[in-house]
Structure formats: structure tokens, C-alpha cells
Amino acid sequence: MVSSFYRDFTKAFLVISLIFISSSLFSKVEKYGEVSFENRTFSEKGLFGQDKDHSSFTLSPEFYFESEDQKTSFTFKPKIRRDSLDDERNLFDIQDLSLVKVKNSYEIRIGIRRDFWGVTETVHRVDIINQTDQVESFDGEDKLGQPMINLSLERDWGVLDIYALLGFRERTFAGEKGRLRLPFLIDTDSAMYESSAENLRTDFAFRWSQSYRDLELALSHFSGTSREPEFINKSISLKIPYYGVIEQTGLEALYILGGLALKLEAISRSGQGDRFSAATAGFEYTQVGILSSRLDLGWIMEFNYDDRYQESPLALGTRLTFNDMYDSQILSGVMRNEETGETNVFVEASRRVRNCCRLSFESIYFNGGSNTNSIQKLFEYLKQDDFVRFEFIYYLGN
Amino acid sequence: MKNLNKIFFSALFFFFLNFIHSEEINRGLEIALKADDSFSGYGDSKTNLKMMLKDRKGLVTERVMEMKLLEVPEDGDKSLIVFDSPRDVRGVAVLSHAHKVGSDEQWLYLPALKRVKRVASKNRTGPFLGSEFSLEDLSFQEVEKYSYEYLRDENLDGKESHVVKRIPLDPYSGYTKQIVWISKSNSLIHQIHHFDRKSFHVKTQTFSGYKKYLNKFWRPSEIHMINHQTNKTTTLFFQDMAFNTGLSDKDFTQNSLKRSK
């Protein structure tokens, strides 16, 4: 799964970095990171007879080195995951292995990194630098490290980030025994690419962003191998991921109106069939101190548009923050697609335990809806995958 | 004629009342400006903050963070707070650009997602990290952000003090008014009573251990906040405070927020 290029790049970079580190350039060294244990219990056996219960263990230490003048820093963060049920959920990833050099008018970042683009909460349309580690969590916010050279210019006219993305990371998919899997199996070992360079293509991207008091604006473009594959039939139950080359332009806007944050993310993509556009727009509002208490209640509402589909889901979320010593909070959300009648609901409660740890409890429920005439249900294959998830995280460090 | 007299005298009365009132406003502002002297011209500063939270039962927890400040002479100051503990929020950072007029700008950095998130500055009135301080209490309190009224002189714990009422002009402030005790001898704030939206006296903030830096700038080494509704307290300790550390605008941008550790 990990390409030899990726392995070579990592090794070469690690060696160079070790030379840097040993050259006593770095005066500050910090070690932290986390160890977590997770268990997911499903309401039923899977559609393909998968087990009702599985656990996983994740270790991701982080090492941070910084020079005396704070202008040079180096970060190393590997991530190792072992799953009791699904081999495809086992992971060894370098999340970060990068050197950052800060100069007066620019900043250069070289190595394996993660970078996030976007303003919305439920769907991240513009975010494209990193591949999604889809098996990690249902929200798709976990990413794989991407080798890159990123030059960042910070001027009066805003911040311009220019990226050369060296090589490609494949998306992770649940395996045969795994839960929350697609109705077919994916042969990740024979992934196909539009580019003749396959997973060694160098992709390019840029993002300009600027803050104007109450308005945050960003414009970006990505030219390269799509992070989102299409599937080619190998047999009825086995498909091959096909990664096309795309051009994607993105717009992000966020406007602060009193306590309200209005958000918009829009993209236009060509290269995978016809050119299409998609957008997510919505707002976030926080009621501070509800009912004369310490509690805050945040509201999130986001609408989706995608010109490939007739209807796109509507998302509504709330965040209840207790503002107590344990930073307790409850997140909940509903996502509903009017076209297919499908709804999915989640609740996630978490709190800190002592100074070192965090405990969270999550439950997700999928409802196929009563609309039996619908063309194709998106979550049909997940209808037996309602689950409760428990996670305990121990944060390393002093 | 009688009516006219009545109008004349009531006009005179209101004029006089207004005159006294503006006198108190001017005096209040004067005292506030003098208290602010210690805060202008400081350039930049760095300090480590330790927060001790104590609940009603006496249970204590700690928070540790680093704070950087940059003075922006013509506008509000800039600040960057990076959390160090508890461990689950390590690396989370808050960047603020205060403005003398209008709302402040604020960004949050979430290291797990490598995400910079702009947040509405209105959300600064709730408890900060579960403490009795709000972000509003911790942010720079520009003179221009309040209207003032001088109330009286009073002896507070042996210190002759001016007592001034200030009303936040920011419609999103968590307070309707604050009563401030300012020492007569050195113009330092020693105590603030905070009144919430319902005009209840919710919190009392006391400043102690003032130290002079660079022969000019007085800073407290401890700030204590008690919440009268919950009886919870938070004490803020300022450690290793340093001035003229060479910080510039470049250290208070979204890019610097991304690399704050």
C-alpha cells in the first residue's frame, strides 16, 4: 500500500533531518503525542456477515525540534494503528516529517505534512492537499501525510501558498471483514491512474487567502491526481480504484456578522467526466451562557449543492459546551438527503480525565428512509452499521 | 410668565445636572487614561501564564499557557496565546487582533486538524478553559472601549483609591458595567467588580504583586477572580515576564499561528 517512492522519500528525508538535528541547530526539543484505544460495537452483524465488534489501538508520538531563534523547526509524527478485525485498517503513516524555515518575507516547508483548507464544518469541499484516511473515522477528517514543498509568502495582499506535491497517497478503504465498508471489495493493490507517472506524479496547487476585518477570503487551485477515486469493475464484487487527473478551483468565504459566522465553500472540478460544481454554505452561531448558566450552545447549519445530483444533504449540528474543569462537550448532528430520504444521526460526548486523558463516546445511526422509489440510496450498504464507539486517549508528555 | 420661569429653572437645573455629570465623566476618563499609562509604549511582551482553578469543594486543576503581546499604537494590540496543558489542548492557540473601534478579530488554531478557524469575537464572554476568566477578561482593555464615570474616593485594604464606573461600549461584552478601584498613589488597578447582563455583581477580580518592568511598566504577578454565583475561583500567575523580546507584526499572523507550539 505504501509506494516505494514514498518509502524512499521518507528514508532520505529522515536521514537529512537527522543530520540537521545532530548538528545541534535545535535548542528546544519536545516530545508528546498520543496513545488511544477504541472500541466499536455495531447493532447487527454486517451486510456481508462481518463481526459486531472490533477494537483498535493507535500510537502517534510527536517529536518537535526548534532552533534558538525559533526560525527553524523540525517535526516528526508517525502514526501506527492496529485493528482487531480489519487488516485494511492497520496503518503505518508518517503524518509529519518536515522542516520549516521562516524568513523575513516567506516561509518554506519541506517534507511530509498535513494542511487544511476550508471554512465549513460538515463537508470539506475545498480541502484537497492530503488524502483522507477514510477508515479512521466516519467524518473523514483524518488525513494521511503528503510529501511536499510548500512556499508561503505572507504580504500585505494576503498569504500565497504554493505547493509542489511529490507523489500520491491512496485512499484507505475498509477490507472484507471491516465494518462501514462499501458493497463491493476494493483491490487497493492494483489501483490505476490516469497519469502515466501513476502515483509518482508531481501535482501543483496554490492558495491565496486574505483577511479583511470581518471577511476571510481564499481562492485556490489544484492540478493533479484526484484524491477521490472512481471505481472500475474487476468482477461483480471486486473493483479497482481509478485516480483521474483533475483541475479543481476552490473558493472559501467566511463573513462575521455579530455573533454569526456565515460560510461558503465552492469548487469547480474538471477531469472526472463532465466539469461540475459543488458548494456548501451555512452558518455557525453560538449562544453564550444559555439559560443563565455556564453552558454554551453552538448551532451549525449547512446546505449542500452538487450539480451532479438533484438533491444534496442538509446538515444540522449542535455543540453543547459545559465550560467546566473537564472541558466536557456534547456534539450532535443530523444529515438528511431529501432525494433519497436517508438520514444519519450522530451524538458524541467527550470529557477530559485528569490532566492526561480524554474519554469520548459516540453513537451513529443510519436510517434508509421511507422513500422506496429513490433512484439509488447512498447509504444503502450502511443500513446494518449503526454503532456506538468508545475511545480513550492518553496524551503523552510531561 | 410663571410657566416660562418654570421652563427656565428646569432647563437650568438639567444643564447643571448635565454639567456635574460630564465633570464626573471627564474625571473618570482622566483616571482611566492615567491607569493606562503603564500600558502604552511597552512595545511587546512575552509571559508564561499558570491558571489555578478551584471549585466549591476545593478541588484544584491547573492550566499552563504562553502569551505574547504586541502593542499597535494606532489601533488595538495583538495577542497570541498558546496552550501547553492540560495535554489534550496542547498546541491549541488563539490569535487576537484587538481594535479600538469595532469588533476584535480572533482566530483559533486546532493542531489535530492543522486548521486555522476564524471565530466570532462575540464568543469571548464565556468561561475560558473552564476558568472564571473569560477571554474578554484576559484581552487587552483599551481605554476607548469603555465610557467612564468617577464615583468616589475610598480606602481599599489600606490603599487610597479612586472608584470609577466603566461601561463597555462593545454590544457583545459580557458585562453591563464594571466598578474599578484604582490606587491614587500609582494609578494601578487593584480591584474590579463585574456586573453581568442582568446587572448582578457576578465576579470580583483582584490584582496583586505588582512589579515594575523597564522602570516604567507595572504588571501584576497574580490576578484572582472569584465567581460569587458558583464560589469557584481562578488565580492567574504571570511567570517569566519579558519586554522588548523582538516580536513584530510577523509573529501575530495566521502563518505564525500555524507554527505556534
Judge whether B163 lies within some domain: yes
Q: Cβ-count burial of B248 within 10 angstroms (0-12 exposed, 13-18 middle, 19+ buried)?
A: exposed
Measured between beta carbons, which residues in chain B are less than 8 angstroms from residue A148? Answer: none
- For A331-366, letters b (16+ CB in 10 Å) and e give bebbbbbebbbbbbebebebbbeeebbbebebbbeb
Question: How many contacts, defined by CB atoms under 8 Å, are there between A and B?
Answer: 106
**Interface ipTM:** 0.92
The range of the structural domain enclosing residue A350 comes to 4-396
Chain A: give the shortest CA distance to residue B178, in Å. Answer: 19
Measured between beta carbons, which residues in chain B are less than 8 angstroms from residue A120? Answer: none
Judge whether B18 lies within some domain: no
Judge whether B15 lies within some domain: no
Do A256 and B130 make contact, defined as CB atoms within 8 angstroms? no
Greatest distance between any 2 Cα atoms in chain A: 68
Measured between beta carbons, which residues in chain A are less than 8 angstroms from residue B119? Answer: 261
Judge whether B46 lies within some domain: yes
- pLDDT values of chain A reduced to their tens digit, one per residue, 398 residues: 456 777 777 777 777 777 666 666 788 888 999 999 999 999 999 988 899 999 999 999 999 999 888 899 999 999 999 999 999 999 999 999 999 999 988 999 999 999 999 999 999 999 999 999 999 988 889 999 999 999 999 999 999 999 999 999 999 999 999 999 888 899 988 999 999 999 999 999 999 999 999 999 999 999 999 999 999 998 888 999 999 999 999 999 999 998 899 999 999 999 998 999 999 999 999 888 888 788 999 999 999 999 988 778 899 999 999 988 899 999 999 999 887 788 899 999 999 998 899 999 999 998 876 655 545 566 778 888 999 999 999 999 86
Judge whether B70 lies within some domain: yes
Total number of domains constituting chain A: 1
Give the nearest partner residue to B85 out of A141, A284, A355, using CB atoms: A355
Total number of domains constituting chain B: 1
CA atoms within 13 Å, Cβ hemisphere of B79: 20
CATH value at residue B199: 2.50.20.10
Nearest to A68 by CA among A31, A33, A23: A23
Judge whether B25 lies within some domain: no
Judge whether B11 lies within some domain: no
Do B174 and A288 make contact, defined as CB atoms within 8 angstroms? yes
Q: Count the neighbouring beta carbons within 10 Å of the beta carbon of residue B179.
A: 16
Judge whether B204 lies within some domain: yes
Closest-CA residue of chain A to B52: A325
Kindly state whether B159 is in contact with chain A, defined as any CB-CB distance less than 8 angstroms: no
The range of the structural domain enclosing residue B176 comes to 37-258
Do B88 and A393 make contact, defined as CB atoms within 8 angstroms? yes
Contacts of residue A324, Cβ cutoff 8 Å, sequence gap at least 6: A294, B130
Q: Grid coordinates representing A69?
A: 531563534
Kindly state whether B86 is in contact with chain A, defined as any CB-CB distance less than 8 angstroms: yes
CATH value at residue A125: 2.40.160.10
* Rounded-to-integer distance, Cα A286 and Cα A59, Å: 34
* Rounded-to-integer distance, Cα A80 and Cα B256, Å: 29
